[in-house]
Structure 1
Amino acid sequence: MSKRRSGQARRQSQIAVGSAVLSALIAGGIAVPAAADPPVGSKITAIPDAGLRPQADGLPTLPFGSLSQPRTLPQTAQAALQAQYTAAELELSVLGARRSELYQAYTNAVVAKAMADYAWRATADTLRAAKEAAEAAAVAEYQAAVKAPPRLGDSLGELGQLIPRTESTPETEAVLADLGTAQHEERQAYTVLTSAISAEQQSSTAYSAVEKEFKRKEIAFLELKRRLAELQSEADRVRERQEQNLGNYSPGKSNAGLVAAAKAQKAVLFALSQRGKPYRWGDEGPNTYDCSGLMLASYKAAGITLNRVAKDQYYGTRNKSVSKYALLPGDLVFFATDPSDWRTIHHVGMYLGDGKMVHAPRTGDVVRPASVSLSSIDFATRVVDAVAAPNQPSPTKSPTPSPTKTTSPSPTATTSPSSSSSPSAAPASSSPPPPKPAESPSPEPPAAESPKPTPTPTPTPAPAPAA
């Protein structure tokens, strides 16, 4: 009995030790090889070393690619260069718009400094005149004080004649007041001039930095353009020549029952007449243009004055916004980095119709027509209100053939009874009894209302039965 109890106690102790070891291994997350298992009943002081865990060397790969990195098709050299060219073109366009803003700010700062300098010089002249008047008044008052007799009751006696009088006249007080006012105005004008000089220096520094960056990126862009031109196919060059040569173009194309106004059509024709002239930033013609300068000159030729910069041209015509799907020739189409913010507009073109526009693209390019996708247009405005399209002459021509068609069946109707009489005569000849054909032509004459069909069939069936 004691041996049985001792055996049960031994087994319980083994189970307890095993469960403790198992709990420790589960908690530690370390798997001990079967060969390293300690003998039952031995005292365990430490967990055996299971070796280093495998280190992750990246995301698991599948036969068709990584889990988080989608499989991409290899790009051709021309496609990769085209992507760089497009990105550089957008960056250069945005930088050019920023350069235009800073140049305008610099010009305004120069004008403000000139006006502040003029105002300060005017106050300085006024102050100089006030000082001269005050000095003259002081000298006159001193001389008058010296010549005046001594005051009664003066304890100094004859020495009082050498001391000038201290009382000032109203004229002297007025001169001194003018001097104080002139000094105050001169200090204020000088403060404004100092601020204007500082603003002009800051705007000049900012513009110079952007101008330097623009020229650097422009050189890189022109190099990309040269390399891309070398890779362009002949089909692309043919398509570009076709876009530039519109032939006999008519700006009177209609959309939704409307056509462009006469002034808008005139602006379109002027813009097209400038094809081939080089792009030059800040120019408004007549030999070179930038994008907004071409729009300005085109509508100026039609008697309408637009703002100078692309975003200002949109802001000035924003009350006449037009849907991209209702564009007419002469409408202005704008492109921005943020389609929800008109202040990010960096390019403008003039719509021609049929998915084309005329614009001055960039440095190194010329004024030319180009295809434009409606999805790429961010804003569109109409400078001059459209007019209703003239009525087409096609509906007036459609009723004229209808009476001719009605008269043409009339002779066929006259021939139809003759044909109907001919088959009536045919069965009369085939059928021996004559009464059936006699009955058949009898109802036909009133339907045709002509006496001619009745005598023609009657003589033909009559000799047939006689034969």
Structure 2
Amino acid sequence: MSKRRSGQARRQSQVAVGSAVLSALIAGGIAVPASADPPIGSKITSIPDAGLRPQPDGLPTLPFGSLSMPRTQPLTAQAALLAQYSAAELELSVLGARRSELYQAYTNSVVAKAMADYAWRATADTLRVAKEAAEAAAVAEYQAAVKAPPRLGDSLGELGQLIPRTESTPETEAVLNDLATAQQAERQAYTVLTAAITAEQQASTAYSAVEKEFKRKEVAFLELKRRLAELQSEADRLREIQEQNLGNYSPGKSNAGLVAAAKAQKAVLFALSQRGKPYRWGDEGPNTYDCSGLMLASYKAAGITLNRVAKDQYYGTRHKTVSKYALLPGDLVFFATDPNDWRTIHHVGMYLGDGWMVHSPRTGDVVRRASVSLGSIDFATRVVDAVPAPNQPNPTHGTTPSPTKTTSPSPTTGTSPSSSPSAPASTSPSPSPKPAESPSPKPPAESPKPAESSSPDPDPVPAA
């Protein structure tokens, strides 16, 4: 009962609040929208006005300004020409497809005309035979009519003999029917032939027009292609120059404390001097090279003779294999089909250092410098033994000071001094205070320390 009473009280309070709000609106002069339902019994004659909808008035305003239009980047001459080339290529391909269609239609029209001409000639021959048969029948009928007795009586006399008979025989009727059929077939065949000739002429005209347009567009396209090839060739040349620009390159780069031997450096410089010369299989210079021919000529210029073929060059230097990570300029790098079988070697190059090599790649290419990934190298050999880098300390000198450092203090302290000078001191009348107090041996023991510490200090670095 308490819940029910509390619900009734809540509803009554809500009604009271609503009545108070409505009274305040009316008292304040605020208009309350009327009900949308029409009065009872009235007729609806028009659709109620729904009001005006908001209209867009331009781009929306952003908190930090208006929308910006996209900026177009200026095209380079090569990019603009490439765009023209692509558009011309597309247009030419569409025109070429249209030309192929029209050529096929023209070919079909030529075949149709030939077939129509053949059919018409056949009907013309049939008509000629029918005409000959009809003429023969007419002559025979006329002759028979002349020989027949006159039908107009004796009043015409001899004139009646000149009038032929009008009745025809069944044979004559058949011949005339064949003639009419042949004439109709010939007219139909000729109509078909005339239409085929017209279609062939129209197809020829359409094809000729497209062919002429295609040739004109093709000339323009080839000109664009030539210009683009020139720009591309110039860009390739500049890139090649940039790529091949070795700057302060020196074949004496060190790796693991070693540098290439003088002959290996000479071979590297010779190989680089051959850049730009075309590849040609089986050639070893001086104007064209294949891959192993370039290696052969380069080391031949340094006074070393290699085998001729790439895999034979590996086999001849196999006793001087080198790790990929210890390569020096002049080392031969080999590429094989099977990295585990040297007999599958198919290409060789000369390492330059810093991930570059010089080689003669393939037909249509030239001797050039190229980047090489260490992971792509299957075998590597060194033709001439490397030598120590000139800036590196001598290994023998690095090991001698270290024993002097460890042993020099012990002999000085162990043989310490005082014994040899003490002998003459003992003969003196007052030897006891001098040997006991004498600090003179210590300074000599400490004085070599700085001199020795200056030489042994760098020793631990090379040793490490």
TM-score by length of 2: 0.36
TM-score by length of 1: 0.36
Higher Cα Rg: structure 1 or 2? 2
